[in-house]
A and B are shown apart, each in its own frame.
Chain A
Amino acid sequence: MAIPHPRDIQLAAVRWLDERYPFTKAIDEAMYQRVPNFANAFYYCFGGMVFVIIVLQLVTGILLAIYYVPDARGNPAAAYNSVLFIQNTVYLGWLIRGVHFWGANILIFMVLLHMARVYWTGSYRAPRELNWIVGAIMLLLILAFALTGYLLPWDTKAYFATEVTIKIAGSPPPPQLGAFIKTILQGGPVVGPSTLQIFFTAHVFLLPALIVLLMYVHFKFIRAHGIAEPL
């Protein structure tokens, strides 16, 4: 029996898959899109950079979650110790945490640049208003990511920054409403272990699910509308 050329194996695999679902067609439709010449400017890449950074955050976040312990009881708390462990003991832990930290900062910067580009080129106008709204919601989600992630190291800076932000969140009148919001966010009468648990849950489960969903919607809208022509 002759040894098959690798291409034959590839073709056989693709044919086997295509007979069961039109993968080739679906991938062709997704990948082969003509980029208009006006969209070749560097500032049309900001949104894509945001996407790349979010993927990076998801990957490094999953890696950090392998060692992080969301437990704020005791002094020093297990949460704080686990961050020290990641930083000092885990192989390349400093690198993964560093990428997650700087990625978070650069992400907000890139999001603002992307928004500025969309505003500058007037790409928010009809019929694309819904995509601007979806993007604005994702901006809020990113800020919620930043807020909840800031508490997780459970050091003094994290604790008192969160105390301040929760105080701001609990400031709307009437006082009963503010107190209600504060209690829900804190998970009790003070910033404590339950606060860390709530913020951790939001940061690791709720917000990633929401942002991935909205990113899918965002991209679907872009494909439906095409890239907006400049003014």
Chain B
Amino acid sequence: MADAAAPRLVTRRTFLGWWMAVILTSLTAAGVLPILVYLWPAPPKGQKKGPVSITLDKPITQLNDGEAVKFNAPTNPNTAFIMADGGGDNAPGDLAFGGFAVKNAGKVDVLAINCSHLGCSVALNDAAKTFDCPCHGSRFHLDGTVLHGPAAYPLSHLTWKQGDNPSTIQVDGIVLGF
């Protein structure tokens, strides 16, 4: 038996008050959640991941040691490459709009064009056999490793394989759908 003098822990008023608070909170959440879901961007209809066929200016088999060819992502439809690895500003899965096919010490690398510092497009320095970033002066060896900061991580690789004819390669990418 409850002591008549002691105040009740839960009265009808507080019980109903809390019930109303719970119901109103749930209603608010039920109203806000669909808005949050709506705001999350849905991929456009034509967006599709897959290999992108690129025609190089010079077939990989004809590249001399220390030679690099630049290529761009197709713009019709708009396409981007997907990085296989990367540090700093780049990360696996990040997108690139250009790259270099490089032959260095007998080995062929396909690198994304994005500087690992803050993402500017690096340019081939043919005389020094380096990739130089125009924005903050980072420099990279032809295999993508850092020659000079501020970049602290090597350039990202793109996943690729030889295409049907000697001058094409298949690079992992995404058709953006716009």
Contact = CB atoms under 8 A, between A and B. Distances in A.
Interface of A: 73, 75, 163, 167, 175, 183-184, 186-190, 192-194
A163 B39 CA distance: 20
Contact of A184 (B41, B89, B118, B178): B41
A184 B174 contact: no
A194 B39 CA distance: 11
A190 B95 CA distance: 8
A192 B118 contact: no
A167 B88 CA distance: 12
Contact of A183 (B41, B78, B176): B41
A187 B91 CA distance: 19
A189 B79 CA distance: 12
Contacts of B176: 188-190, 192
A157 to B, nearest CB: 15
Contacts, number: 32
A167 B120 CA distance: 12
A184 B39 contact: yes
Most chain B CB neighbours (cut-off 10 Å) among A75, A175, A189, A192: A189
Given A183-B41, A184-B39, A189 B75 contact: no
B34 interface: no
A193 B119 CA distance: 20
Given A175-B91, A183-B40, A190-B176, 7 more contacts: A167-B118, A183-B41, A190-B95, A192-B78, A192-B176, A193-B178, A194-B44
A163 B119 CA distance: 10
> For the complex, would chain B's binding face be called helix, strand, loop or mixed by DSSP majority?
loop
Nearest to A180: B40
B43 interface: yes
Contacts of B75: 75
Interface in B23-77: 39-41, 43-44, 75
Nearest to A194: B41
Contacts of B43: 188
A194 B119 CA distance: 21
A175 B39 CA distance: 20
Contact of A190 (B40, B80, B89, B118): B80
A175 B88 CA distance: 11
21 contacts: A73-B178, A167-B89, A167-B119, A175-B91, A183-B40, A184-B40, A186-B41, A187-B41, A188-B44, A188-B176, A189-B95, A189-B174, A189-B176, A190-B80, A190-B95, A190-B176, A192-B78, A192-B176, A192-B178, A194-B41, A194-B44
